[in-house]
A and B are shown apart, each in its own frame.
Chain A
Amino acid sequence: MRSRRYFLRQALTSAGAALLAGCDALSNSSWFPKVLGIGEHLSSAAQHLVTSRRSMAQEFTEADLSPEFRSNGTANPEDGEYQALAARGFQDWKLLVDGLVQAPAEFTLAQLRAMPSRTQITRHDCVEGWSAIGKWTGVQLSHILALVRLQPEARYVVFHCADPMWGTAEKYYESIDLEDALHPQTILAYELNGEVLPIKNGAPLRVRIERQLGYKMAKYIMRIEAVKSFAAIRGGKGGYWEDRGYEWFAGI
């Protein structure tokens, strides 16, 4: 009886270990993550099916604000050029908007601040699982894109950032499609909770894409590029985290 119980326990433990090892082998295979990727396509299709292009993210009241809007990822870019700009209060910083546009342009922070602004209290959902609520003020990306006039073949907007990731030379970048780029709540924010955007939250400029997860909302933006495809940019998946296996469509 005892030996049978021992055998059963050994068998169960071995089966469990084999199952886990099998799952890890599948995760590290070249084909299985692609099969799992079907889920992302279904999620994206289903989420677009039940929403309109202009469906709005929930907006909150001052009472809902998080006492402190926590920083995640880069809190202070380890980059000489960026630090020099920060030292002078970003007076010399300029946002470059180019790529597939009729009239490439550069904008200073003062110029952006002089444009019509939008203020929104929204919830920031991190892919890790936490949420924070903040009040953002900035200029709608659609306003900037109207100024530079997109070329008809432009399909995506790429954000190039100043922050190198974890001591590597590789800087953060992200991309969104035109549906999100032209959405009324997609703003280039220069203020958080009524004050100048702090460095830990992306100064001088970060994008808000309120229907997607936090990693889409690039901080420390230096350049916005309109493209037809992001396949040739860096890892080809459309963003720093996307190149590391995260979904390009981060709606859930």
Chain B
Amino acid sequence: MAQSYLYRRHSLLVRITHWINVIALTALLMSGLQIFNEHPALYWGKSSYTGEPALFEVAKGFPWGKPSYTGKPAIFETANKFPSWITVPSEQWLAMGRRWHFFFAWLFVINGIVYLAHSIASRHVQRDLKPTRADWRAVWRSAKDHLLLRHPQGEAARRYNALQKLSYLLLIFGLFPLILLTGCSMSPWLNSVLPGWVDFLGGRQSARTLHFIAAWTLVLFVLIHVIEVVITGFWNNLRSMITGRYRISPGGQL
């Protein structure tokens, strides 16, 4: 049987930008929930008060009682705001939450630009992320394998599998731009770049709702990502994202 060996799976820049993303996205989520807690209701449309009910509303937890600005019951309602252990700062402090959010938003954007520039220049995107014809044919089998927790072993584990490539591409070129666009679209100043452009997202309050949904979609991605990291060899994966080195065991066992 062939010997197992280590190879350099992730470049230094990919590893650094990955961990900066971990920090930035955690801070963004927690400060984002702090900001949301200041007005815990979601709407669809150009404004919050269109005569239509809110899509989502928090029933309790307001010092001044139940919010009923729309005059109609919400379509969906929960009993409480996000708890203090999941917000930054932990107490209600909107001004500080905004400071965290915008600082880490910039860190996330600059980090993303560095990653993209490097990954395109070094052909990381074209070489490692772009699905091949074989990948496209294997998408359904790859999806089935993931559901059955069957993962590529040996030499096949050296490259990303079809579903993995597609999720990374959707994340980098779909979800990240969407979360940035919906974030920017909440700015009244940026709305004036081309008055009315925010209507393409359904209006400013729809954009706020989409920003919220995109954030939780990202949480879902991270959850699946971490589960996959754990079941495909936690220490091997973790080492490869810290030192860059990943162990290939041609026999199959790790």
Contacts and interface: CB of A to CB of B under 8 A. Distances in A.
Interface residues of B, number: 47
Interface string B76-111: 000000000100111101111011101111100000
Interface stretch (A51-59, A78-86, A101-109): A51-59
B57 to A, nearest CB: 11
B247 interface: no
B106 A23 contact: no
B188 interface: yes
Interface of A: 16-17, 20, 23-24, 27, 33, 35-40, 42-43, 47, 50-51, 55-60, 64, 66-70, 123, 125-133, 210-213, 241, 244-247, 251-252
B102 A43 contact: yes
Contacts of A20: 85, 88, 90
- Which of A38, A58, A211 gathers most chain B CB within 10 Å? A58
Contacts of A35: 103
A56 B192 contact: yes
Given A58-B198, A70-B49, A211 B35 contact: no
A51 B184 CA distance: 13
13 contacts: A20-B85, A24-B91, A27-B93, A39-B103, A42-B102, A55-B193, A67-B71, A68-B49, A127-B38, A129-B35, A130-B39, A130-B48, A212-B189
A36 B103 contact: yes
A129 B39 contact: yes
Contacts of A247: 98
- Which of B36, B104, B192, B193 gathers most chain A CB within 10 Å? B192
B49 to A, nearest CB: 4
- Which of A36, A43, A211 gathers most chain B CB within 10 Å? A36
Chain A interface helix/strand/loop/mixed: loop
B103 A211 contact: no
Contacts of A211: 188-189, 191-192
A49 B208 CA distance: 24
Contacts of B195: 56-59
Nearest to B189: A251
Contacts of A67: 49, 51, 71
A248 to B, nearest CB: 12
Contacts of B106: 38-39, 42-43
B174 interface: no
Given A127-B94, A129-B208, A245-B95, 16 more contacts: A23-B88, A35-B103, A36-B99, A39-B105, A40-B99, A42-B106, A51-B189, A66-B51, A67-B71, A125-B186, A125-B204, A129-B39, A132-B48, A133-B49, A211-B188, A252-B187
